[in-house]
Each structure stands twice: as structure tokens, then as C-alpha cells.
Structure 1
Amino acid sequence: MTIFSKIIKGEIPSYRIAENDRFYAFLDIFPLVKGHTLIVPKVETDKFFDVADDLLQEWLLFAKPIARAIEKAIPCNRVGLSVVGLEVPHAHMHLVPINSADDLNFTRSKLKLSPEEFRGIQESILAQL
């Protein structure tokens, strides 16, 4: 069982943004920028392109209102989407508020935010959904 499955099951706490029967969206606890959100399917599949076609389609439709909410809640030019998949063997997408391409550079240092900062970001995004 991956760390993401444990988060989905509530065994590990998270800052939930959205959920339905197939997907779970939550704030990345090692964000590149404030508002960095992960979306994972509830079914464990290691690689993004091994996910079933219908699930891939639904995944983008699930992500769309979340991306719009992030864009309204966090000052940015747009919300970038990235699929890297090296950190956890459970397919996931990153929605990242960006102002430049460098904001999607996963090799740079991650932010260290307090629980209060995470809750504030979560509340700001939820208010836009």
C-alpha cells in the first residue's frame, strides 16, 4: 500500500481539497509553491500511462475545477500540470500555481509551511470551489 492510499483511507492526515468515488485531491506537504495540489486516483496504479483510458479522461475533468479554484485563490499567471511519478509508485498529477516555467522545477528546494499556513491555503482554495 502506498503513502497515497494511506492518505486516501485517512490513515495519514492530509489537507483535502476535493474527493469523489475515484479521485482524491490534497495539498502537497512538500510544495514547490503555495497551493501546490496533488490529485491521485483511488485505485493504485504505478505509472500514469498505465491508468485505464476512462480514468485518465475523468481525471482531467476532476482536476479542471480544482485548477480554476487554485488560480483564483493563489496569485499566479496560471496553474501548471505536471506528471513526474518518481517519488511515489502511485500515479499522481501535480497542479502548481505558476508564474514561470521554473515554478515547475522539481529539483529546487521545497517550501516548509506551518499547519496554520496549510489550513489557510486549503480554506482559500475550498472557498473558490
Structure 2
Amino acid sequence: MSSTTHNHTDASCIFCKIIAGSIPSMKLFETDKVYAFLDIGPIAPKHCLVIPKWHGAKITDIPDDYLMEIAPALKRIAIASGEENYNLLANAGTIAHQVVMHLHWHFIPKPDEKQGLGVGWPATKPEKKELQRIYDELKQKL
């Protein structure tokens, strides 16, 4: 199904408009279910975006058959980029730094310490009992 024939778009969404062609993009490639393009506000050279052609803000909003094409698309970009170090990132929710409420993955090269994504990792050391409680809860729901 092409982006112009399915009904799972949002007329006010910038990414839906890019998929539809009403806003220009530097399209790298597309399939029936994903669209890949160069980020116009990159944090490193070759910073790209991969988006499903199904409008939804979070991974839980997108059908599995669309999600199954995301990883191969990111792999294709990684190979084409020739970059050795990079981050793959999807933010979900405003407080998790999501700006466009259409699920998207960033391919962000990390050519050196200055360019690319800077990440803080505030690791904690929970007690074994707390880890077990969290594990049990997740395992039961999976």
C-alpha cells in the first residue's frame, strides 16, 4: 500500500506531509512501509531519519508489519554511510525528547567526541529484591 492510499496519516503531521510529497525532503529511499531521508537539522554529517508510513507517536501505535521494515532500513543506511560508530535512537514522549509526534528513528554517526549524540547514562544500583520485582512484573506481562 502506498502512502497516498492508506488512511493512517495525520494531515497536520510534518512527517506525513513529507511522505505524501507535499513537503520536500532529501529522500534516500522508501518502501511500501518505510521512508528514509536526510535530517535537515543534523547533529553530525549523514544524520538520517527512518519513519514508518503509518502515523503514530510511539512504537505501540504502529503495526508490526511496518515495524519489521525499520531495522533493515537502518542497516541499509548504516552500510551506505560507511560509518564505524553511530547511534540509533527513537524518542517516545515529550519528556523523552520527542518533538515530532510521528515515530521516527535517527541514524546518527559519531565520527568523533564532539560530533554526534552526547549521552548521559545515569546508571543506578537497585537492590536485588527490587530488580527481581521488576523482572517478575515484566515477565508476567510478556
Judge same fold: TM > 0.5, yes or no.
yes
2:44 is the alignment partner of 1:38: no
2:94 is the alignment partner of 1:96: no
TM-score (normalised: structure 2): 0.64
Q: Deviations over 1:71-127 (max 9, x none)?
A: x2xxx4323201124110100000011135762138xxxxxxxxxxxxxxxxxxxxx
Name the residue aligned to 1:50.
Answer: 61
Counterpart residue type for residue 91 of structure 2: V
Shift in Å, 1:64:
1.0
Q: Deviations over 1:31-60 (max 9, x none)?
A: 011110000011101112432233322210
Instruction: Pick closer, same or farther for the CA change 1:101–1:39 going to 2, 3 Å.
Output: farther
- Using CA pairs under 8 Å that are at least 6 residues apart, name the structure with larger relative contact order, 1 or 2: 1
Counterparts of 1:90-129 in structure 2, within 5 Å, are: 90-99=102-111, 103-105=116-118
Name the residue aligned to 1:14.
Answer: 25
TM-score (normalised: structure 1): 0.70
SS of 1:104 mapped into structure 2: coil
Match of residue 91, structure 2, among 84, 88, 104 = 84
SS of 1:12 mapped into structure 2: coil
Name the residue aligned to 2:124.
Answer: none
C-alpha distance in structure 2 between counterparts of 1:39 and 1:101, whole Å: 24
Q: Deviations over 1:1-53 (max 9, x none)?
A: 21001011111111111111111000111101111000001110111243223
Question: Are the aligned partners of 2:55 and 2:62 in contact in 1 as well (CA < 8 Å)?
Answer: no
SS of 2:68 mapped into structure 1: helix
Q: Any stretches of 5+ residues in structure 1 without a counterpart?
A: 107-129
Aligned structure 1 segments of 4 or more residues deviating by more than 4 angstroms: none
Counterparts of 1:52-67 in structure 2, within 5 Å, are: 52-67=63-78
What is the number of equivalent residue pairs in this alignment? 102
